[in-house]
Chains A and B, each alone.
Chain A
C-alpha cells in the first residue's frame, strides 16, 4: 500500500472562541499481530498506538489506540480556537512510525 498523507478536514477560518470540528483519517493497516496467513505464519503486529492533536504547543486531545480500533483509523473531535495559530497532528506507531501534519487556522475578520 502506498504511503499517503493523512486526510484532515477542518475549517481554515474561525472566530475567536469558536469550537470547530476536526475530522481526521489516516491510512493504516492496524495489524493486531494475532492474524495468521494461510501457511500458518503469524502476521507481524503493526499498529498506530498514539494520536496527539495540539494547538500552538498545547495539547488538545490525545488518544491511546488499542487493538479494537479499526483499519484506517478515523477520528472526529472538537477543538476551541483561542487565537490564530496552527493545529498539529501526530500519529505514533510500532517500529518508530511517526507521522505529523500541521494545519493553520486564520481568525476571520468579518465577524467580530
Chain B
C-alpha cells in the first residue's frame, strides 16, 4: 500500500536532484554579490592573526540571541587582561559573517584604558554569527563567536 502512495506523487530521483541544484544556484546567484560569507571572515581572521595561533577564551561577548532591530543591536565585549604596559589588549575587531562588509569596527586600546571592555551598537543584516577577535601586545590572538538571530524583516544593513 505505502509503495503505491509514493509512486502516485511522480517524483523521480532525477527531479529531486534537479530541484536541489536549482535552489543552490538561486541562493548562490542571489547572495554572492551582496553579502559576505563566513569564508571572508576566515580569511580576514588569518590576515589579522598574521600567523599567530587563534585561541579560544578570554573574550566574552554579550549579544542578544534574538533581536527585533538589526539596525542597532547592542553588543558588549569584555577581554580579560591586566592592561599594564607589558601586557595589554592592542586591538579588538568585530566581524560579521553575513553583513555586506564583514568588518564592522576595530577598536584599539592602550594601557591608559585600564580595562578592556566596551559597548557599542552594530548593524546585523540577517541571522548570523558575529566573530570578535582580540590582539594582545604579546602577540597572542583570541577569538570568540556569538550567534545572533534577526527577526524576519528586521535586518539592519541599508
Contacts and interface: CB of A to CB of B under 8 A. Distances in A.
Given A34-B157, A35-B158, A77-B118, A70 B72 contact: yes
Interface stretch (A52-60, A90-98, A101-109): A52-60
Nearest to B70: A70
Query: Which of under 10, 10 to 19, 20 to 34, or 35 or more describes the interface residues of B?
Result: 20 to 34
Contact of A62 (B96, B108, B156): B108
Nearest to A64: B106
Interface in A20-63: 31-32, 34-35, 55, 58-63
Given A76-B118, A78-B117, A66 B103 contact: yes
8 contacts: A34-B158, A63-B108, A67-B123, A71-B71, A75-B120, A77-B117, A77-B118, A82-B112
A68 interface: yes
A73 B105 CA distance: 11
Interface of B: 71-73, 94, 96, 99-101, 103-123, 156-158
Contact of A19 (B96, B115, B119, B158): B115
A84 interface: no
A67 B96 CA distance: 11
Contact of B72 (A19, A66, A71, A77): A71
Contacts of B100: 32, 34, 67
A7 to B, nearest CB: 14
Nearest to B121: A70
Contact of B113 (A35, A65, A71, A80): A80
Nearest to B69: A70
Contacts of B156: 70
